[in-house]
Amino acid sequence: MNHYETIFIVDPDTPDTDQEPIFEKLKSMIAETGMLVIFDDWGVKKLAYEIKKKIRGRYVRLDYCGNGDLVDALERIFRLDFRILKYLTILLGRDVDPETLIIEEEEAQVEVEADVETKTDPTENKEDTSDSPKTADDADAVDAENVVDEQGAEGVVDDEGTEDADKTAQTETKTETETEE
């Protein structure tokens, strides 16, 4: 069996009572000749561009195993049903074992649930060894100390943190005259 993923977009104006029979029909078709790994309803989201004068759509992802005939049958339903705005099927793998896919998916789901329960922040345990400033005031202080123009001459910074162009120009001319002598 091959491993496929199909993502399709349902018209959000279709009532839920009409959307559920579509989903059940697809699930039963996959169960007849293949095996459904995941039915993932992402909900209503904004489309990247208008499709059939709609700006929103209900995204659904099917992850399943089957053969090419199953994909053809599913895509035929998508083409004929006016409530389906778009669909895309991708071949993820050839000659896969559906049982191992289901086990892997269940393990991944358990990991996600465990992470959500503990609510660990991956950046929380890392030590910050960088020399970057921690606050906006620290950043201003670092900028005030290290103001250097393109030629390498240091500029003078006033109390507001802005560079005084006249004083910088004077510093540059002094540097140029010193190098000439």
Q: Break the chain into its structural domains and give their ranges.
A: 2-118, 136-180
User: What's the pLDDT score for residue 47?
Assistant: 94
Q: Which one is predicted more confidently, 151 or 86?
A: 86
* Two tokens, residue 106: 């269940």
What are the distances in angstroms from CA 23 to CA 9, 33, 127?
A: 12, 16, 48
Segment 84-89 shows an average pLDDT of: 95
- Which tokens in the block code for residue 181? 């002598």
Residue 161 and residue 178: Cα distance in Å, rounded? Answer: 28
Query: Can you tell me whether residue 166 is helix, strand or coil?
Result: helix
SS3 for 88-127 is: EEEEEECCCCHHHHHHHHHHHHHHHHHHHHHCCCCCCCCC
Q: Could you tell me which of 61, 54, 55, 16 has the C-alpha nearest to residue 38?
A: 61
Q: What is the pLDDT of residue 116?
A: 73
User: What pLDDT is attached to residue 60?
Assistant: 95
> Which pLDDT score is estimated for 101?
76
CA dist list (Å): 177 to 95, 119, 150, 171: 78, 62, 18, 10
Q: Is the pLDDT confidence value at 158 over 60?
A: no
The pTM (predicted TM-score) of the whole model is 0.58
The mean-pLDDT minimum among 22-26, 44-48, 136-140 falls in 136-140
pLDDT at 138 exceeding the cut of 60: no
Task: Look at residue 41 and tell me whether its pLDDT is greater than 80.
Answer: yes
The CATH superfamily of 2-118 is Ribosomal protein S6/Translation elongation factor EF1B (3.30.70.60)
CA distance 165 to 155: 8
Return the pLDDT at 150.
47
Burial class of 49 by CB neighbour count within 10 A (0 to 12, 13 to 18, 19+): exposed
Q: Please compute, for residue 104, the number of CA atoms within 13 A of its CA located in the half-sphere on the CB side.
A: 8
